[in-house]
């Protein structure tokens, strides 16, 4: 783990799509230089960084909200620079707390560097600078597939909601009585066959409605087949990752897709020195607000929401009828202590984050 020293040089970078601004400063926040560069001049940028001394003493901080810094990270990773990601909310707080709230690329880059100086423990090392090649490759592949899968699931949900309304218009209140699941493959086949015979006259409102429903049913079938295909591909890639296999084998309710979602966000457990750091990153560690004898805990609205969602999925699976006995016992104990169902679930998610940390740490050793 890199530590800041008196000889450290912090380089804050404000990242954009085509141009970037970097500001270098010493451990006391005094500016040592600035540079504007593009993705086409990354070798010159790396040479500029080397001019500040040993690369072990240079810490490059990126506010990479939209992944526009991927080319910078790939270039610097070759030279072994220390790279850290700074959450955008920290730089925004730095701006609001300043007496000068001007905003420019230069000032934003300087604020990114100052976050490293003042809130170093709240930042994380870039996964590209700490993970090995296999971990990076698998995490990137999983992230791309899971991103596509999330979009398809959203489209599927929208399509189902539309179909519920349209089927109700066409068949009336009892359109779903015939089947246990409205959109099971057997029910979809029935609707398609029934509508095919009634959609011959597409000039009146009833015929147009039948054709519209039929088209949506075909799109729904296509979406479901694509989701299944992507899930199989995610499971196949995840099977080559020791971390994904360890999570799937050791945590009840964590299937291959959920385990892959966890590792797509973490990449490597080496980024996290302690379980509390992982819990805070996932947004499952409550924030404390105390004053005098008054001590209260509040929900943490920040953190990685996709990782938080994966932990939420595991938690719901554990407290289900066929879930994990330990998870259900813990959840019920929290309810008996007077906590609400939602807060008890948050407590379980925190325990699951600790479990994830322990499983991955053992696997990595």
SS (H, E, C) 60-106: EEEECCCCCCHHHHHHHHHHCCEEEECCHHHHHHHHHCCCCCCCCHH
Gap between the Cα atoms of 365 and 334, Å rounded: 33
pLDDT, average across residues 234-261: 95
Residue spans of the domains in the chain: they are: 9-130, 135-238, 242-364
CATH number for region 9-130: 3.30.420.40
Gap between the Cα atoms of 270 and 178, Å rounded: 53
Q: Specify the DSSP class assigned to residue 362.
A: H
Structure tokens at 242: 């020791």
The pLDDT of residue 239: 94
Gap between the Cα atoms of 315 and 253, Å rounded: 8
pLDDT, average across residues 71-90: 88
The pLDDT of residue 362: 94
Query: What pLDDT, in 10s, does the model give residues 195-243?
Result: 887 666 666 788 889 989 999 999 999 999 999 999 999 999 999 999 9
296 - beta bridge partners? 289
Candidate from 8-17, 94-103, 170-179, 204-213 with smallest mean pLDDT: 94-103
Place 317 in a pLDDT band, splitting at 50, 70 and 90.
very high
Specify the pTM.
Answer: 0.86
């Amino acid at each position: 783990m890199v530590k800041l020293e008196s000889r450290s040089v912090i380089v804050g970078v404000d990242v954009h799509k085509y141009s970037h601004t970097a500001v270098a400063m010493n451990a006391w926040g005094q500016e040592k230089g600035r540079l504007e560069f593009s993705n086409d001049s990354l070798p010159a940028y790396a040479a500029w960084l080397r001019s500040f001394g040993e690369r072990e003493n240079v810490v490059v901080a990126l506010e990479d909200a939209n992944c526009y810094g991927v080319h910078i990270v790939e270039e610097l990773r070759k030279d072994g620079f220390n790279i850290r990601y700074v959450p955008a909310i920290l730089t925004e707080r730095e701006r609001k707390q300043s007496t000068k709230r001007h905003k420019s690329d230069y000032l934003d880059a300087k604020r990114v560097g100052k976050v490293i100086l003042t809130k170093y423990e709240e930042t994380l090392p870039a996964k590209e600078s700490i993970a090995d090649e296999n971990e990076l490759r698998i995490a990137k592949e999983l992230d791309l597939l899971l991103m596509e899968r999330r979009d398809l699931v959203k489209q599927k949900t929208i399509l189902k909601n539309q179909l519920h309304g349209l089927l109700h218009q066409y068949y009336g209140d009892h359109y779903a009585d015939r089947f246990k699941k409205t959109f099971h493959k057997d029910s979809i086949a029935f609707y398609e066959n029934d509508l095919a015979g009634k959609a011959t006259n597409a000039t009146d409102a009833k015929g147009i409605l039948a054709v519209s429903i039929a088209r949506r049913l075909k799109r729904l079938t296509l979406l479901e087949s694509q989701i299944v295909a992507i899930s199989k591909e995610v499971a196949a890639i995840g099977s080559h990752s020791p971390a994904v296999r360890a999570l799937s084998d050791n945590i009840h309710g964590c299937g291959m897709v959920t385990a892959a979602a966890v590792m797509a966000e973490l990449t490597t457990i080496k980024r996290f020195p302690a379980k509390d750091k992982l819990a805070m990153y996932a947004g499952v560690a409550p924030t404390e607000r105390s004053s005098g004898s008054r001590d209260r805990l509040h929900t943490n609205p920040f953190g990685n929401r996709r990782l938080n969602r994966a932990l939420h999925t595991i938690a719901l699976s554990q407290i289900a009828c066929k879930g994990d006995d330990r998870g259900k016992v813990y959840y019920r104990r929290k309810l008996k202590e007077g906590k609400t169902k939602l807060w008890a679930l948050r407590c379980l998610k925190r325990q699951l984050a600790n479990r994830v940390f322990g499983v991955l740490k053992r696997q990595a050793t």
